[in-house]
Structure 1
């Protein structure tokens, strides 16, 4: 958080960042989604899967993970809420929030709620752009 930025401004900026990020993910715009991470970012999203380290590895992991949906017309929606932001002395921001993943299939009226998760991020600014430096997703069912 910059010296002139209020906490309210920070909160709004982070929420907008996450809204853009999750829409990229849900639309399978993986190149653009991976670009919301630092080049040396660490990304751990599933239990038992080692973290992907670097933007290139994150992109590869996204493609690997979504192969399971190639024959399934599912639309996945990630719902983020309950943000707690903690500005750090080094200018980064620790962000913790809840995520629900919803699966919707054509012709099926009722959505399926996927995993319930707690997400732990570290956000940083690079050349005035907010990016994710690290993400760890803890699945509630795996606790």
Structure 2
């Protein structure tokens, strides 16, 4: 049996999808400041590659700049593909919980692309000044407990 979708919920899902697409394009292009600006000022990002969560736009941008420079020096391009996005109904404070699968594809010059990671991304999104922002992002890898 198919679930019915209300126009407001369908609109919310489309907004979240557009937000994630823009955010991943910024990340993959190395636009560190613009990517970091998609988080709240004190936004938290807990990737599996970091020993501790990263908090705040300045730290987020610095991490993306360093990673992008390292990958460019190695001749590797990475693409983050968010799929199978599940958007929960908004919380009383207006925040929205979103759970997505993330595939990270790595491509080196003159080599075939390879699936580098399969992850789960759990976001808490909020609206600030009319735009979606990540307040919290937790990413876990499928190959780790």
TM-score relative to the length of structure 1: 0.90
d(CA) in 2 for partners of 1:48 and 1:31?
Answer: 19
In structure 2, runs of 5+ residues without a counterpart are: 1-6
Unpaired runs of at least 5, structure 1: none
**Alignment: residue pair count:** 138
Pick from 81, 89, 94 the counterpart of residue 91 of structure 1: 94
Q: Which residue of 2 aligns with 1:105?
A: 108
Any idea what SS the aligned residue of 2:74 has? coil
Q: How many Å apart are 1:106 and its aligned residue?
A: 1.8
Q: Secondary structure at the match of 1:6?
A: helix
Instruction: Work out whether 1:73 is the aligned partner of 2:75.
Output: yes
Aligned residues of 2:30 and 2:65 also touching (Cα < 8 A):
no
Structure 1 CA distance for aligned equivalents of residues 62 and 52 of structure 2? 13
Q: How much is the aligned-residue C-alpha RMSD, in angstroms? A: 1.5
Q: TM-score, normalised by structure 2?
A: 0.89
Question: What does the per-residue CA deviation read over 1:53-98, in whole Å, with 9 as the maximum and x for residues that have no partner?
Answer: 1111211222344454242111101111011111211100000000
Secondary structure, in 3 states, of the residue corresponding to 1:142? coil
Q: Answer whether contact 2:81 2:104 (CA < 8 A) is retained.
A: yes
